[in-house]
């Protein structure tokens, strides 16, 4: 309940949005301040007045230019307001239907201004994605350019990468995105977002020939190995390499070919105490041990590597002990002698 008893028709309040010419025919007053609220939001009178207008247009279902302007005012105060963004989207769709798609160009400019201030606003990116899909094919390049600009300032902006995924998927821009991620990785091999995006492309794009083995070999030679040789201790290329075997169908054990061994040995040739390379090599032998044929020999190799990791990476010594115990248990289950 509110204890306010204010006459907002007084000339002292002529500056309120609801008192402007375009709204004077609408009977609206600022929403009241809830006196019983434990922690009432510190809304300004101007914002409460706009919320009063919002309540009226929601009730009437109005979708017009003035409503579009109202949402801009609300968003300028609270850019995270789902209600304001949702109303803006529904209003925009109606105006585009009535007046033409040219309005969408102005909307892109509007969103650009907001992104310049806060490029990590979820509602902004959700709204932009809907606009981009409504614009269709002719706007796809502009969307990639827009996200590329954002990523120059913040290479790990989750919203920008997610937006790229939506655009690439909607318009089949797989080859272009593969090239983009390779460039991003070349510029910064530690950009785990770029590695993740590249895996997304490989997992979701239509396969041209279905030769997964050839794809894995190409990615190792052209992307993984150069990155590992440049920064052996960087975990990103190793995680990507594991994904090539676990996420691309058909899945394959790490010992399914010589690629993993090649990467591990290349990294260890640069840094003998490289933890992620040693772990990769240990997991290679774990897979080899469970593949049969050389179980005991491979298990011994894995045990030795996990023992070495306890020394190389003492912070996670307990974890490496656990991994070593697992290998011994699996070997015993298979009846292999580790003596």
Token representation of residue 291: 């593949």
What radius of gyration, in Å, describes the C-alpha atoms of the chain?
29
Is 270 one of the catalytic residues? no
In sequence order, which residues have a C-beta less than 8 Å from that of residue 288 and are 6 or more positions away?
253, 255, 294, 298
| Pairwise CA distance, residues 21 & 30, whole Å | 17
Angle between helices 158-171 and 140-153 (to 10 degrees): 160
The catalytically annotated residue of 120, 130, 272, 300 is 120
In sequence order, which residues have a C-beta less than 8 Å from that of residue 174 and are 6 or more positions away?
168, 201, 204, 205, 206
| Catalytic residue ranges | 120
């Amino acid at each position: 309940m509110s204890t306010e008893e204010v006459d907002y028709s007084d000339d002292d309040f002529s500056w309120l949005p609801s008192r402007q010419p375009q709204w004077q025919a609408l009977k609206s007053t600022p929403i009241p301040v809830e006196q019983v609220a434990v922690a009432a939001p510190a809304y300004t009178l101007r914002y409460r007045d706009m919320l009063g207008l919002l309540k009226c247009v929601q009730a009437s279902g109005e979708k017009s230019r003035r409503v579009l302007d109202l949402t801009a005012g609300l968003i300028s105060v609270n850019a995270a307001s789902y209600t304001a963004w949702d109303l803006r989207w529904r209003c925009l769709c109606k105006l585009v239907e009535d007046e033409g798609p040219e309005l969408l160009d102005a909307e892109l400019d509007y969103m650009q201004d907001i992104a310049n201030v806060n490029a990590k606003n979820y509602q902004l990116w959700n709204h932009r994605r809907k606009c981009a899909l409504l614009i269709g094919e002719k706007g796809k390049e502009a969307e990639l350019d827009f996200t590329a600009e954002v990523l120059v300032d913040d290479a790990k902006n989750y919203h920008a990468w997610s937006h790229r995924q939506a655009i690439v998927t909607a318009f089949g821009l797989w080859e272009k995105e593969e090239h983009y991620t390779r460039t991003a990785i070349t510029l910064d091999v530690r950009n785990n977002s770029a590695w993740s995006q590249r895996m997304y492309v490989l997992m979701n794009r239509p396969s041209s020939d279905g030769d997964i083995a050839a794809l894995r070999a190409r990615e190792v030679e052209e992307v993984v190995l150069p990155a590992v040789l440049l920064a052996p201790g960087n975990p990103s290329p190793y995680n990507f390499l594991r994904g090539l075997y676990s996420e691309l169908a058909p899945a394959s054990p790490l010992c399914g070919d010589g690629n993993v061994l090649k990467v591990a040995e290349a990294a260890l040739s640069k840094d003998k105490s490289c933890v992620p390379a040693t772990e990769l090599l240990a997991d290679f032998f774990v897979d080899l041990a469970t593949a049969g044929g050389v179980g005991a020999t491979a298990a011994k190799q894995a045990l030795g590597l996990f023992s070495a990791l306890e020394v190389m990476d003492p912070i996670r010594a307990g974890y490496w002990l656990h991994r070593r115990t697992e290998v011994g248990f699996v070997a015993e289950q298979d009846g292999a002698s580790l003596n």
